[in-house]
Amino acid sequence: MSLVISSRVLIAVSCGVVCIGVGVVQFTGARDLGEGLTLSGVLLACQGSYVIAQAEFTRRARYASIMELRLSYGIWLFGLTFIAVLGRSSGAVLVLATCIAYIVGVTTTAWRQVGLRRTVRGLTVGIGLSDVIAEVRSGRVLVASFTVGSLSAQVGALATVAMGSLAAPWAIVTRLSSGFQTVGGQLVGPAIDIAVSQGRRARDAKSLRSGVQRGVIWGLFLAVGFLASAAAAVVSVPYGWDSSSGGRAFVVAVVGYGGGSVLLSPIGRLLGMGTGGRARLIWETVRAIGSIGVVVFGHGPSLLTGLGVVGICAASSYLFLVLRSSTWGREALR
């Protein structure tokens, strides 16, 4: 039932954004803004369908289906992007290529694993407005927390322009961090999600803790790999900056902000899974305020140090919240 409602809410919101984009063009003539809103609505629908499909496969404990979904999306995205780049296409074409990759990946995987006709038929189940309202209300806290988290996750990359001579190495570090987070969140994370959700449904506290601990171990492993890669990149490539003026601050930022983000990537969806999500909303809000405050008031080495401290505090508090017995003990199994 939740899958059906989520799909319908996604369609409604996406259509609303598209209509706003079209309206902006019609009534104000701002073609760039209208085009951006329209493409955002289309991308929201396509990416949302991918997320819903992944959630459904997680619920059914089909890790192989999640990997097939990811592989199909990756292959189509690579091929379509390659063609678009060769043709020197505009940014809008690249966005549409991403949308097509999402839809083809979801469609082909659903056809093979679930049966597309059964999936489409399921979306026609009669649901009243009260069901939709109840579902939206029950998930409003988690939606808010993940929205705030998505915004604060961009702070590290946006801070590059304020880094001065440290901007070039920091840009490399953020790209490396993003790559390792993709591995943790999209390849390792679903297996952890499945293990934890199965432990909750079975009311097996031992399996639940084991799944969380495996996620933390994987996070540590990926964080070490990221730090080694970042060190190799910074040492081997001359960036033209004086390490004596910001070297220590740079290390703090790489370890705290970059390493902390990679560490949490395999378990990034666990806080709030099966609970009301208030703890996650508070954590995301505090992290966002800290990150934005550092970017607004810091510059150069002070900015790097601040980001590192925020990253260390965020990672430590998240691990505490996930591992504490009141969350993953008897309370989590109610």
pLDDT tens digits, the chain, 334 residues: what are they? 444 445 555 555 666 666 666 666 656 666 677 777 777 778 877 888 888 788 778 878 888 888 888 888 899 999 988 888 887 777 788 888 888 998 888 888 877 665 545 555 555 455 555 655 666 666 677 777 777 887 788 888 888 877 777 778 888 898 899 999 999 988 998 999 888 888 887 777 788 888 888 999 999 999 999 999 998 887 776 655 555 556 788 889 999 999 999 999 999 888 877 655 788 888 989 999 999 898 888 877 888 899 999 999 999 999 988 887 544 444 444 5
The structure's pTM equals 0.79
Return the DSSP state at 164: G
Between CA 52 and CA 69 the distance in angstroms is 12
Between CA 34 and CA 42 the distance in angstroms is 12
Amino acid in position 89 = S
Altogether, the residues listed in the chain come to a count of: 334
Burial class for 233, CB neighbours closer than 10 Å (0-12, 13-18, 19+): middle
CB–CB of 319/219 below 8 Å?
no
